[in-house]
Structure 1
Amino acid sequence: MTPADQTVVQDAATYLYQHVIADIVSSGLFFGLYLMAFILTVRTYRIDGRSRKIILAGIVFSFLLACWDLWFSKLPRLLTYIKVGFINQSSNDININFQSADEAISGWNSALTWPFNVNLIIGDIIVCWRAHVIWNGPKYVKHVLTILMIVNAVLDIADAIMDDVTTAEFVVLDSVSSFVSFGVNLLATFMITVTAWKFYWSIRDLRYARTGINLRKLLLFLIESGSIFCVIQLVYALIQLPSLESTPALTLAIYLIGCLCNISAVLYPLAVIAFIDVLNSSMTDPSYLSETIANTKTVLSTPRLTLNEH
């Protein structure tokens, strides 16, 4: 085996190692966690308004995209590469075999870009929608969030198109779109958190524990989940900076963080939906309402987190 052949085999082994770890092991684990959260959310989800039906359609579509991403893109791509490059070899020349393998998976590579970017858009829209509806602060904050979301969607679509038309593994738009998505979720998380804390302090003296809901833990969970998602997005954006030297270890890190970011993009909206649903259920509890009316006359001015607007 010539040195050139050894290099080709090493590159192929590195490719398989990276994608088995990132695409199969990590994605499979993250998908299992997401599947559990998805089932729990859908089972308890109430459909009693147009906006709630739209949100349900969005999270179901995100679930289908997540299935497409793992089971109908990543796994077939890996199996096709192994079959063409190692099993059904068309030539005695190793270079030709692996070139054929690269050509065979080119279509799968294009298919991978769209589920990831579309899921980011859907997840960001759901979180922004909830933040926009419940926000009772200055209106200019809503306008800033809307503008950022539009720019974010355009960049995600442009990024997917660029990934399809270029042969480069990573393009500048990968990092730019990740930074903008990070900004969108940071602002939306801030708006939801501020509104939720205002709500908590407005009803903290109304014996909220009688409903069986620990609101403080729910609020902390919402803050932590939003913060963790923002950190994941920030790290993903930073490691894609063009100034960083491309190495196998960095490439594997990008794949792993990308898998985590992809699942987080659909998990975080589920956390927001579940949080607000639990809060709404407690607000409509008869014992809570009767106690509220008996103890205070100002409850009507209390800000409410609801999924039924519009």
Structure 2
Amino acid sequence: MASQQQSGPLSDADIYALQEWIAETAVGFCLYGIYATFSFIAIYFLLTRHGGDATKKARLVLLTVIIFMFINSTSLVILDLEYILVQIPLGSFNPPDIQKTTKILGNIKISGNFLERLNFLINDGIVVWRAWILFPRNWRIKLLLGFCLLACGVCNVFDAASGAVNVLKNYQAVGAGTKEFLVLTLPLLVTNIVATFLIGYKALKHRQDISHNLSTSSSGASRITMVQKILSLLVESGSIYISFWIAATFLTGFADSSKLSFQVFIASALPFLSGLYPVLIILLVALENTKDRSNEADLSLSQSIHFATRVHLSAAAETVSTTSEAESPADSVGNPRIYNQPKEDV
């Protein structure tokens, strides 16, 4: 009778792999669920809103970008899950072909790295576009933003290619390495800082212009316009998003890439946070528009209903009576008016 194989306790490497898989799967699917929910709501808002041709084109572009990023993020979460499922049989008593499995794992990781970088690049393109349209005639600002976006694109491609080379050597490699990952994080961080600073500058100038133009009106000077709200929203949300990239840069430069916190934040959280950021901006701006329209409707309704007092009614009646006495019958059918001339003394 053949002796049965005995299963001993898991090794430290196996325990760490299980912890990493559980943490990455939990964080990734949690953020993906939130991202998918807000994406569908944003798509609904973009499809139901109405406007002119200019806003229609902008909505169409945003709708296309959101759908593309959602498909990209869905593919990314599927690849992450497949990467785990393919590795599990390697720890069995009868593992599959090691060489074939290693090749599959390498291809999955390379594809995931490219999809992550694509999410980062698209999101930075949206951020740059928001700052770009605020300076339509300033070619220096456009040149600066274009250079930042070009640098992000080149560094994204370089980081993905370097990561692919490392993964082909060892499928368990973490992208392009810790220090080389700074090639990706630093340009993205600088681009977001520049774009957010320009939006903040435009918001400050707009606030100063509004305050100057409405300085003579005590009621209008304290009122915050819808443009101010949207610009402030872009600055605040951009600052929060920058904090994530500061954390990513800090972890990349000083943290150990083998630490679980690095793996979870860089591999699982950051790609979905990049996709979630523009979707939340669209929803918040849409909610501000809805709120302002509701306030304007209430204001116009309250201002359009006025009841005349008895004194006003009496004055109006006297005016109508005087006018009707001064006009001849011919005036009622459209002939030129003939006013009663004063009688001369005989």
TM-score, reference length from structure 1: 0.73
C-alpha separation between the residues in 2 aligned to 1:7 and 1:176? 41
C-alpha separation between the residues in 1 aligned to 2:235 and 2:204? 10
- From 79, 84, 95, the equivalent of 1:78 is 84
Number of equivalences: 273
Distance 1:135 1:18, change over 3 A: same
Q: Which residue of 2 aligns with 1:123?
A: 123
Are 1:182 and 1:230, in contact at CA under 8 Å, matched by a contact in 2?
yes
C-alpha separation between the residues in 1 aligned to 2:194 and 2:156? 18
Summarize deviations over 1:81-101 as a string: whole Å, max 9, x none: 1123337525xxxxx97x876
Q: How far has the Cα of 1:26 moved from its partner?
A: 0.5
Q: Which residue of 2 aligns with 1:263?
A: 272
C-alpha separation between the residues in 2 aligned to 1:144 and 1:14? 45
Distance 1:34 1:179, change over 3 A: same
Are 2:155 and 2:184, in contact at CA under 8 Å, matched by a contact in 1?
yes
What amino acid is the match of 1:192? I
Q: Which residue of 2 aligns with 1:68?
A: 75
TM-score, reference length from structure 2: 0.66
Distance 1:69 1:76, change over 3 A: same
Q: Which residue of 1 aligns with 2:183?
A: 176
Q: Which residue of 1 aligns with 2:40?
A: 39
Are 1:81 and 1:104, in contact at CA under 8 Å, matched by a contact in 2?
no
Does structure 1 residue 27 correspond to structure 2 residue 28? yes
Q: How far has the Cα of 1:103 moved from its partner?
A: 4.7
Equivalent residue of 1:239, what SS? helix
What amino acid is the match of 1:33? I
C-alpha separation between the residues in 2 aligned to 1:150 and 1:273? 25
Are 2:200 and 2:232, in contact at CA under 8 Å, matched by a contact in 1?
no
Counterparts in 2 of 1:47-126, with a 5 A limit? 48-70=55-77, 72-86=78-92, 88-90=94-96, 102-126=102-126
C-alpha separation between the residues in 2 aligned to 1:147 and 1:275? 29
Q: Which residue of 2 aligns with 1:13?
A: 15
C-alpha separation between the residues in 2 aligned to 1:220 and 1:123? 19
CA RMSD between the two structures: 3.7
Q: How far has the Cα of 1:176 moved from its partner?
A: 1.4
C-alpha separation between the residues in 2 aligned to 1:7 and 1:108? 29
Counterparts in 2 of 1:209-288, with a 5 A limit? 220-241=232-253, 244=254, 246=256, 248-249=258-259, 251-277=260-286, 287=296
Identity between Structure 1 and Structure 2 (%):
20
Q: How far has the Cα of 1:118 moved from its partner?
A: 0.3
Q: How far has the Cα of 1:164 moved from its partner?
A: 1.3
Counterparts in 2 of 1:290-305, with a 5 A limit? none
Equivalent residue of 1:41, what SS? helix
- From 176, 189, 199, the equivalent of 2:196 is 189
Q: How far has the Cα of 1:43 moved from its partner?
A: 1.0
Q: How far has the Cα of 1:181 moved from its partner?
A: 0.4
Q: How far has the Cα of 1:38 moved from its partner?
A: 1.1
C-alpha separation between the residues in 2 aligned to 1:245 and 1:269? 28
Distance 1:131 1:215, change over 3 A: closer
The structure in which a higher percent of residues are helix is 1
Larger radius of gyration: 2
Distance 1:214 1:101, change over 3 A: same
Q: How far has the Cα of 1:139 moved from its partner?
A: 4.0
Q: Which residue of 1 aligns with 2:145?
A: 145
What amino acid is the match of 2:243? V
Are 1:175 and 1:238, in contact at CA under 8 Å, matched by a contact in 2?
no
Greater Cα shift, 138-147 or 119-128: 138-147
Are 1:121 and 1:153, in contact at CA under 8 Å, matched by a contact in 2?
yes
Give the unaligned 5+ runs of structure 1.
1-5, 91-95, 292-310
Are 2:72 and 2:119, in contact at CA under 8 Å, matched by a contact in 1?
yes
Are 1:232 and 1:257, in contact at CA under 8 Å, matched by a contact in 2?
no
Distance 1:107 1:229, change over 3 A: same
What amino acid is the match of 1:29? C
Q: How far has the Cα of 1:208 moved from its partner?
A: 10
Are 1:85 and 1:101, in contact at CA under 8 Å, matched by a contact in 2?
no
Give the unaligned 5+ runs of structure 2.
1-7, 168-172, 301-346
C-alpha separation between the residues in 1 aligned to 2:135 and 2:277? 18
Equivalent residue of 2:95, what SS? coil
Are 1:176 and 1:237, in contact at CA under 8 Å, matched by a contact in 2?
no
